[in-house]
Amino acid sequence: MTELAWIDAALSAARPKAVGALLRYFRDLDQAEEAFQEACLRALKTWPVNGPPRDPAAWLILVGRNVALDDVRRRSKTQVLPPEEILSDLDDAEADLAERLDSAHYRDDVLRLLFICCHPDLPAVQQIALALRIVSGLTVGEIARAFLVGEAAMEQRITRAKSRVAAAAVPFETPGAVERSERLGSVAAMIYLLFNEGYSATGGSAHVRASLCEEAIRLARLLLGLFPGEPEIMGLTALLLFQHARARARLDPDGNIVLLEDQDRALWNRDMIAEGLALVDKALRHRRPGSYQVQAAIAALHARAARPQDTDWAEIDALYATLERLQPSPVVTLNRAVAVAKLRGAEAALAMIEPLADRLSGYFHFFGAKGAFLTQLGRTEEAREAFGRAIALAHTPAEAAHIRLHLDRLMKDSRSA
Amino acid sequence: MLYAVLCYHHEAEVMGWTKAQDEAVLAKRAKVQQKIAAAGKLGPVARLMPTTAATTVRSGREPVVIDGPFAETKEQLLGFYVVDCASLDEAIGFARELGHGETGALEIRPLRHFETGSRAT
């Protein structure tokens, strides 16, 4: 790696803490971001000469703050401190600041930074875009590419989202326990949305989408590092790791969707799976179940099965039943039906999803699953109709192509019958 | 003398490396490892999962199980090597070569007791 790459990695790793602390200091997002930018520029100048500081985040916070103070002094025409002086002073000051910036402080700073992105008035895409811009430090161009919109349009969206957030005035006092846990819940949901945006591949290149998933995992790990005893955050992180571990196996070389049972399990990322399993183990010890933990436990059962036929469908069914209680949703029931089909056959699965028809009438996966169940029951004509609905609802060419494959098979089977 | 070479770094930074960056570091280190392995001086090598996967058991009359790593530090222990070196200078040489072009830190700790254990690999 080049020196620039090292520094770049250090700067982006320090970003959430540094911007979070600068935000508390300035109480203004733009000012905090500017100060951070300025500190980064100075880092690029001094780190190659002096070597990287022991605590890059503390260095950036101190320099960012000083630069801003410097600006104020310059404007008020009082004596300006030469930057060298600031920087040569830094060693002692850094240690002192690092003392005061203990992990508890960082914890609420980073949480606040993530939380302001989760404003309930902001649509999901804007929450995610804001988090990618502010917390992850992606450029507007990068975010625009991920969402397949023009750079100017994305710039406008982010600016609007920022002013909304500023108007909402999230308090800067240290949050109480209840408030902290509410913030944690909103932030976890936003990270989950971000991951899904990358995972569900509603567009954009595979590479760009994968980077959204990686960013979500990075944020989940960041959150877990700050709140190491929260089983739901362990569950969330594990869930994202399990899902992302399958990324290479989910699409074939032509970009077609490969279903779980047809995936080449040798392509699954074993490191991510192992980390996910470790986190699920840790979470279960707390005996405080939550929806992320249950979803992670389901994903863990898939990850543990060496071959599709080794999958513990009975346990998966039971876990989905738990999830239905914790977080009732037709989509959860639809997923449970897939396990039921494996356990008790397509007839039972079909009976389970029939009542969902109204609520899922616009949902691609509903018709995909329905078509598959009907196919298994030999109800070809109805299956064809369901697959037709699915194609009409597909978000991506890959989704549509996948259903067409089912249809082709149906045609072939009915011809040969 | 047996030495443990402990690898410390900012975890968030290392976890933020791209796959290509990570692989480049491992490939570069593998070369240094091969050399010392060929001389029959390389013991166990381990890369640890992130500290978020760690659990700490604090001993006492009532042992307490805590989520997370033992210490909240700026740099985290991310992995280690055990090497057999004739002198501290040689161990320093190994660590220098290992960490060449990287940031982070390598701590050299002489081993007081060492067992290979019973596990096959």
Please tell me the distance from the alpha carbon of residue A242 to that of residue A199, in angstroms, as a whole number: 12
Which residue in B12, B53, B74 is closest to A275 by CB distance? B53
Structure tokens at A219: 């944020």
Average pLDDT of chain A? 88
Structure tokens at A254: 């032509």
Whether the CB-CB separation of B35 and B81 falls below 8 Å is answered with: no
For residue A120, CA distances in Å to A71, A98, A116, A197, A198 come to 35, 34, 10, 18, 21
All structural domains of chain B: 2-110 (3.30.70.1060)
Which residue in A55, A218, A225 is closest to B16 by CB distance? A218
HSE, CB side, 13 Å, CA atoms: give it for residue A104: 6
Whether the CB-CB separation of A299 and A287 falls below 8 Å is answered with: no
Predicted local distance difference test score (pLDDT) of residue A146: 83
Please tell me the distance from the alpha carbon of residue A163 to that of residue A156, in angstroms, as a whole number: 11
The DSSP code for A251 is: B
Instruction: Find the mean pLDDT for residues B21-45.
Output: 95
Residues of chain A with pLDDT > 90: what percent? 65
Q: Which of B99, B110, B117 is nearest to B28 (CA)?
A: B99
Binned at pLDDT 50, 70 and 90, residue A174 comes out as confident
If one compares A128 and A209, the residue with the highest pLDDT of the two is: A128
Q: Tell me the per-residue pLDDT of A327-380, one tens digit each, with 9 for 90 and over.
A: 999 999 999 999 999 999 999 999 999 999 999 999 999 999 999 999 999 999
Whether the CB-CB separation of A291 and A229 falls below 8 Å is answered with: no
Residues in chain A, total:
417
Predicted local distance difference test score (pLDDT) of residue A136: 93
The residue ranges of every structural domain in chain A are 3-101, 104-228
Q: Which of A231, A229, A235, A199 is nearest to A216 (CA)?
A: A199
B49/A13 touch (CB, cutoff 8 Å), yes or no? no
Q: Tell me the per-residue pLDDT of A329-344, one tens digit each, with 9 for 90 and over.
A: 999 999 999 999 999 9
**Tokens 């103070």 belong to which residue?**
A69
B52/A218 touch (CB, cutoff 8 Å), yes or no? no
Which residues on B lie below 8 Å from A274 (Cβ)?
49
The DSSP code for A257 is: B
Whether the CB-CB separation of A374 and A386 falls below 8 Å is answered with: yes
Which residue in A6, A14, A275 is closest to B49 by CB distance? A275
∠ CA A356-A362-A367 to the nearest 5 degrees?
65
Which residues on A lie below 8 Å from B65 (Cβ)?
285
How close is the nearest chain A Cα to the Cα of B27, in Å?
11
State the DSSP H helix or E strand holding residue B76, giving kind and residue range, or none if neither.
strand B76-84
Alpha-helical regions (H) of A247-396? 247-250, 270-285, 291-304, 313-326, 330-344, 346-353, 364-376, 380-393
